[in-house]
């Protein structure tokens, strides 16, 4: 067999861990490697593999793989979609402009929308201006920021682009667009811009929920826990379904379920029309599944009102599921509504109603691609009835001249195959898109209408999809052995191993023996279906080798064939001692294993004969001596010479991960954490960005003893479990987003169970935004947990230094984690001295000001030196009272850079002033950004208020 890239073979391994490693090792410089990555991108079940494949294809800069990456933009996992956007940007794919139009409206994950914005700006340039300007109204500020940065970049070298942006800003009403344009103007001109008059107050306030509102959502959650559902307004509960604080969202949903209020449910459905607010639509869908209401009555109410797509989609499914003719008539009418989103929503239910097939198929002629997608998706699920398949097939053939996307043309090719339209299949066999050509060629191959020349041309094509589509019995053996793509080889072997494939015994044996030598364990396993233990000597030897295979799949397959052979022992005896005795040690080892498998009296006699045979190779003898251990002790009473050769049973010793603890020189940089009695390394390493356990162990060996943990930090969790033997050396910082004694105890005990430890070193109330979150009752609850030995120290984290100062004056909080950087130096005067005087341990975070301190500011000389992340950490660590700084490196390379802090935690005095000056510039720009972009109207609450606005009256 022609050898394959070993990494490309591992890319098909059953274990996801193996495939994750392999995707980075595949030779992407070779075309076969890129096709293997495409297969992984579109076919692997593991999201991490698919995301890595997208990244590698982008790095390869091969435009042939643009269609595959465009397909990946609809992957169910956001990490894959994000990587696909980035890869398409690297390829310079102009198609991203059309796709980004959809993404900024419908993509539910903010960081994927941000990737779309960056991709379209880098590829389309000035053509992307209208889309970027619309993105300034996104509910999430980080997406708006991506659009702002893109517009700044596009305008710096294009006077016409600047003028277009200014014109939009002048025409816009006070709000996020006008404010963002003002910020962009300030960057272009280098002059600060005030936010006054640029933002409006937004819609009026919703109905108040007396006694529940607070700046800190954990406090709101605790208050809501104590409040009966009937005393909270439905509007407020529905608003909270879009809150970033997960406990509050879940509790609001529970309260709505308790109310069983159809009107509240109608209100909640409005979130279905705003997919860009994280979690809201998902919470509503969960609510709809669990709430007990009269769904027919509610659906009737919805379908009688001015239509909202999200509610219509739900009502349409109810109408179909309950087979209500009156409701179905209304849904069918909405399938012809003037708004595409409403038509699409109605069709999303009608596609499941056989009686509505005519309406559904008519939608193939819809001018809107998203409406047609509902019909195409229904076809891809394949309607169960043969008559429905024929009806779809005829409709797709009629739709063929208007099919514009590769997905639509693939559906047309499948439909043409169903109804036997040879002329259409012949045209699609020459389609520019390889996936469409493969479908059409495959349909023709099944129907037997391919010419010999067409098959030869397809079999020599560079794309494995096309080669695979035309496989037949004549071509499959060659593909099975020599094709450069493993998926094609597998398809060929599947065809040949099929019970329906006519092969002579010689052909089956030849193919089986060749496949038994494959690098691919799957092919080795399938090879056993073509081999017979009672067949030729070569077949038996191949099966015996496969029964020792490194792959469990191959071993199991070979064992099944050997076990089914009724004359196996006779064949094995002939192989071991007959006239054509095999000399292959591997085959002899396997043959003896099978011959002695029953461990009965005849098997013992065979064992003794073999061990007394001085001609056996040393490896076989060692194996036979090991096999004596499977026989009962009493069997050896008649063979004392054999008993003396029995090896002693090996003692199994426990093994575990051993890590070198930091030595005394590395501990020298550790600092006391206030008066807690704990000592911490200058860096507290966060598991937020998924550093591998190996990287975390390297950091520990370099001197890091403090780690910041949350329950979803899976890699850090693995590392902490692996280092339980060094628990005394580690300082583990964990925490909670909840409020209330019961919730605090629950979260502490949950963390202890998850980490399999008996205590947490530092437990923080995360992201405190309200004084009530630091109430005396919660302080006492934490003190009690410390007295019980479950905590060594506790405290809180906050951005608000005044709140922190006041909290220390009320209660002796042992630890506080607060924001601090050269761009946010206020804690140096307002908080650090207070904490130092009271013996409070201080941890700081955002030392790089979210990376802004690492970027040049307007007005800086082009050759001015910028601080590094290490400089930023040292600046914070140089402040009196600061014990350690939180670091969340995104890669092993960043980790190694950050570890330089350990050898010299403090900044040189002369560098402090330069850092302060740079921080002041960043702060001034940051204040403008916060006022005009980050805190401008357009966030989640404003989005919800807009959804609540009165519907406009229908036109008369």
What pLDDT is recorded for position 659? Answer: 47
Answer whether residue 540 shows pLDDT above 90: yes
pLDDT digits (tens, 9 = 90+) for 244-270: 999 999 999 999 999 999 999 999 999
Per-residue pLDDT reduced to its tens digit, 892-927: 999 999 999 999 999 998 899 999 999 998 998 888
Number of H helices and E strands in the chain, helices first, is 53, 10
CA 652 to chain centre: 39
pLDDT 10s digits, 285-340: 999 999 999 999 999 999 999 999 999 999 999 999 999 999 999 999 999 999 99
Q: What is the DSSP letter of 649?
A: P
Is there a contact between 867 and 855 (Cβ–Cβ < 8 Å)?
no
Using the predicted structure, report yes or no on whether residue 410 has a pLDDT greater than 90: yes
* Backbone phi, psi, residue 904, to 5°: -150, 90
* 933 confidence band (pLDDT: 50, 70, 90): confident
Q: Answer yes or no: is pLDDT of 375 > 90.
A: yes
Eight-class DSSP state of 645: T
Cα distance between residue 459 and residue 436, in whole Å: 16
595-651: pLDDT as tens digits: 999 999 999 999 999 999 989 999 999 999 999 999 999 999 999 999 999 998 655
Determine the average pLDDT of the residues in 9-20. 94
Q: What is the pLDDT of residue 199?
A: 61
Residue 565 tokens read as 């052979």
727 Cβ neighbours under 8 A, 6+ residues apart: 757
Q: Tell how strand 760-765 and strand 791-798 pair up.
A: parallel
Give the DSSP letter of residue 821: B
- Report the alpha-carbon distance of residue 953 to residue 684 in Å, rounded: 58
In this structure, what is the dihedral angle of CA atoms 570, 574, 576, 578, given to the nearest 10 degrees?
150
Mean pLDDT for the chain overall:
92
b/e map of 905-941 (b: 16 or more CB within 10 Å)? bebeeeebebbeebbebbbebbebbebbbeebbbbbb
Mean pLDDT of 406-424: 97
CA atoms within 13 A on the CB side of 362: 11
What average pLDDT does the segment 411-428 reach? 97
Instruction: State pLDDT tens for residues 541-573.
Output: 999 999 999 999 999 999 999 999 999 999 999
Helix (H) or strand (E) holding 214: none
Phi, psi of 26 (to 5 degrees): -60, 140
Tell me the pLDDT band of 952, cut-offs 50, 70 and 90: very low
Query: What DSSP letter does each residue of 414-462 carry, written as one string?
Result: HHHHHHT-HHHHHHHTT-SSHHHHHHHHHHHHHHT---HHHHHHHHT-S
Residue among 800, 804, 830, 825 at smallest CA distance from 816: 804
**DSSP per position, 675-714:** TSS-EE-SEEEE-TT---HHHHHHHHHHT--EEE--TT-H
The DSSP annotation for 47-75 comes to HHHHHHHHHHHHHHT-GGGHHHHHHHTT-
Quote the CA–CA distance of 609 and 585 in Å, as a whole number: 17
Q: Give the pLDDT band of residue 955 (cuts 50, 70, 90).
A: very low
pLDDT digits (tens, 9 = 90+) for 347-365: 999 999 999 999 999 999 9
Q: How many CB atoms lie within 10 A of CB 76?
A: 8
pLDDT band at 578; cut points 50, 70, 90: confident
Return the higher-pLDDT residue of 499 and 12: 12
For residue 501, give Cα distances in angstroms to 475, 507, 535, 539.
Answer: 13, 11, 20, 20
pTM of the model: 0.87
Q: What is the mean pLDDT of residues 716-734?
A: 88
Between helices 31-43 and 486-497, what is the axis angle to 10°?
70
Decide if pLDDT at 654 tops 60: no
Sign of CA dihedral 664, 666, 668, 674: negative
In 3D space, the residue among 113, 120, 174 whose CA is nearest the CA of residue 140 turns out to be 113
Residue 657 has pLDDT above 80, yes or no: no
The residue-averaged pLDDT of 670-681 equals: 96
Query: Residue 833, class by beta-carbon neighbours within 10 Å (0-12 exposed, 13-18 middle, 19+ buried)?
Result: middle
- Which secondary-structure segment (H or E) carries 815? strand 815-819
The distance of Cα 54 from the centroid of its chain, to the nearest Å, equals 12
Q: Taking 90 as the threshold, does the pLDDT of residue 1 lie above it?
A: no
Strand pairing category for 683-686 and 706-708: parallel
Q: Which of 902, 849, 903, 885 minimizes the C-alpha distance to 685?
A: 885
534: left (phi over 0), alpha (psi -120 to 50) or beta: alpha
DSSP secondary structure, 378-414, as one string: HHHT--SSHHHHHHHHHHHHHHGGG--SHHHHHHHHH
- pLDDT value of residue 667: 79
Model pLDDT for residues 32-66, shown as the tens digit of each residue: 999 999 999 999 999 999 999 999 999 999 999 99
What ranges in 323-363 are assigned the alpha helix state H? 325-334, 340-350, 357-362
- At 777 the three-state DSSP class reads helix
Q: Residue 954: is its pLDDT beyond 50?
A: no
Q: Which 3 state secondary structure label does DSSP give 793?
A: strand
Percent of the chain with pLDDT over 90: 84
Q: How far apart are CA 459 and CA 233, in angstroms?
A: 67
For residue 664, what pLDDT is reported? 61
Would you place residue 862 in the very low, low, confident or very high pLDDT band (cuts 50, 70, 90)?
Answer: low
How many angstroms separate the Cα of 53 from the Cα of each of 415, 535, 775? 31, 43, 50
3-state secondary structure of 488: helix
Q: Give the integer Cα–Cα distance in Å for 299 and 314.
A: 8
> What is the predicted pLDDT for the residue at 857?
80
Q: What is the model's pLDDT at position 945?
A: 72
- Say yes or no to pLDDT of 698 above 70: yes
3-class DSSP state of 268: helix
pLDDT value of position 251: 95
Contact 739, 778 (CB under 8 A): yes
Render 130-192 in DSSP notation, one character per residue: HHHHHHTT-SSHHHHHHHHHHHHHHHHT-HHHHHHHHHHHHHSPTTHHHHHHHHHHHHHHT--
- Share above pLDDT 70 across residues of the chain, in percent, rounded to a whole number: 95
Residue (of 913, 831, 896, 838) closest to 695 by Cα position: 896
């Amino acid at each position: 067999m022609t050898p394959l890239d070993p990494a490309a073979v591992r890319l098909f391994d059953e274990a996801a861990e193996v495939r994750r490693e392999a995707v980075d090792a595949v030779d992407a410089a070779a075309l076969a490697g890129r096709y293997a990555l495409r297969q992984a991108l579109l076919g692997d079940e593991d999201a991490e593999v698919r995301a890595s494949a997208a990244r590698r294809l982008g790095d390869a800069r091969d435009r042939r793989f643009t269609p595959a990456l465009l397909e990946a933009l609809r992957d169910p996992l956001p990490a894959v979609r994000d990587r696909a956007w980035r890869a398409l940007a690297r390829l310079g794919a102009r198609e991203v402009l059309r796709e980004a139009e959809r993404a900024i409206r419908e993509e539910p994950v903010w960081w994927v929308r941000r990737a779309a914005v960056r991709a379209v700006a880098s590829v389309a340039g000035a053509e992307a201006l209208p889309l970027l300007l619309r993105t300034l109204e996104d509910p999430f500020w980080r997406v708006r920021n991506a659009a702002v940065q893109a517009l700044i970049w596009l305008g710096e070298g294009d006077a016409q682009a600047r003028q277009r942006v200014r014109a939009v800003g002048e025409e816009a009403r006070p709000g996020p667009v006008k404010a963002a344009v003002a910020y962009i103007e300030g960057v272009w001109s280098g002059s600060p811009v005030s936010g006054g008059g640029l933002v409006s107050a937004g819609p009026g306030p919703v109905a108040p929920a007396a006694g529940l509102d607070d700046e800190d959502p954990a406090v709101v959650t605790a208050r809501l826990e104590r409040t009966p559902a009937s005393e909270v307004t439905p509007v407020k509960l529905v608003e909270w379904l879009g809150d970033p604080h997960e406990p509050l969202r879940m509790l609001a949903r529970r309260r709505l379920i308790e109310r069983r209020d159809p009107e509240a449910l109608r209100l909640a459905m409005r979130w279905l029309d705003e997919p860009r607010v994280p979690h809201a639509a998902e919470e509503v869908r969960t609510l709809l599944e669990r709430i007990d209401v009269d769904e027919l009555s509610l659906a009737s109410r919805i379908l009688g009102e001015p239509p909202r797509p999200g509610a219509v989609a739900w009502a349409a499914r109810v109408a179909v599921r309950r087979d209500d003719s009156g409701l179905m008539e209304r849904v069918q009418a909405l399938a012809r509504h003037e708004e595409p989103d409403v038509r699409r929503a109605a069709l999303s239910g009608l596609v499941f109603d056989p009686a509505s097939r005519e309406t559904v198929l008519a939608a193939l002629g819809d001018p809107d691609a998203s409406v047609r997608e509902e019909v195409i998706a229904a076809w891809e699920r394949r309607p169960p009835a043969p008559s429905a398949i024929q009806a779809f097939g005829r409709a797709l053939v009629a739709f063929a001249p208007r099919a514009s996307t590769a997905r639509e043309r693939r559906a047309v090719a499948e439909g043409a195959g169903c109804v036997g339209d040879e002329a259409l299949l012949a045209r699609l066999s020459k389609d520019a898109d390889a996936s469409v050509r493969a479908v059409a060629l495959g349909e023709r191959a099944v129907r037997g209408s391919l010419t010999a020349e067409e098959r030869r041309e397809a079999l020599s094509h560079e794309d494995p999809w096309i080669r695979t589509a035309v496989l037949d019995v004549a071509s499959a053996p060659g593909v099975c052995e020599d094709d450069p793509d493993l998926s094609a080889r597998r398809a060929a072997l599947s065809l040949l191993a099929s019970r329906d494939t006519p092969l002579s015994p010689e052909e089956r044996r030849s193919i089986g023996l060749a496949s038994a030598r494959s690098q691919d364990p799957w092919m080795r396993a399938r090879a056993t279906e073509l081999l017979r233990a009672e067949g030729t000597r070569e077949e038996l030897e191949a099966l015996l080798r496969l029964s020792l295979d490194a792959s469990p799949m191959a071993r199991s397959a070979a064992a099944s064939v050997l076990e089914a052979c009724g004359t196996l022992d006779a064949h094995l005896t002939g192989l071991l001692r007959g006239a054509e005795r095999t000399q292959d040690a591997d085959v002899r080892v396997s043959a003896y294993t099978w011959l002695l498998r029953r461990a009965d009296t005849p098997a013992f006699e065979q064992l003794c004969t073999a061990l007394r045979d001085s001609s056996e190779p040393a490896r076989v003898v060692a194996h036979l001596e090991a096999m004596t251990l499977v026989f009962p002790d009493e069997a050896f009473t008649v063979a004392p010479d054999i008993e003396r050769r029995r090896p002693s049973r090996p003692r199994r010793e426990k093994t575990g991960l051993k890590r070198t603890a930091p030595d005394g020189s590395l501990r020298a940089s550790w600092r006391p954490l206030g008066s807690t009695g704990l000592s911490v390394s200058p860096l507290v390493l966060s598991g937020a960005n998924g550093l591998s356990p190996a990287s975390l162990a390297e950091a520990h060996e370099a001197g890091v003893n403090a780690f910041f943990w949350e329950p979803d930090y899976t890699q850090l969790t693995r590392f902490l479990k692996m280092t339980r033997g060094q628990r005394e050396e580690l300082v583990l910082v964990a925490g909670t987003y909840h409020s209330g004694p019961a919730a605090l105890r629950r979260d502490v005990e949950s963390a202890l169970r998850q980490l399999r430890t008996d205590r947490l070193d530092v437990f923080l109330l995360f992201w405190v935004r309200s004084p009530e979150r630091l109430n005396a009752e919660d302080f006492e609850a934490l003190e009690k947990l410390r007295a019980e030995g479950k905590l060594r120290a506790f405290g809180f984290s906050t951005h608000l230094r005044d709140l922190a100062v006041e909290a220390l004056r009320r209660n002796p909080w042992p630890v506080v984690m607060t924001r601090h950087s050269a761009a946010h130096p206020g804690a140096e005067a307002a908080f650090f001295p207070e904490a130092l005087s009271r013996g409070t341990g201080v941890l700081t975070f955002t030392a790089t000001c979210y990376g802004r301190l690492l970027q040049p500011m307007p007005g800086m000389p082009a050759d001015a030196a910028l601080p590094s992340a290490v400089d930023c950490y040292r600046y914070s660590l140089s402040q009196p009272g600061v014990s350690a700084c939180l670091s969340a490196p995104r890669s092993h390379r960043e980790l190694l850079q950050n570890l330089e802090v350990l050898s010299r935690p403090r900044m040189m005095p002369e560098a402090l002033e330069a850092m302060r000056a740079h921080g002041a510039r960043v702060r001034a720009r940051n204040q403008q950004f916060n006022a005009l972009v980050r805190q401008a109207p357009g966030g989640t609450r404003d989005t919800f208020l807009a959804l609540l606005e009165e519907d406009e009256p229908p036109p008369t």
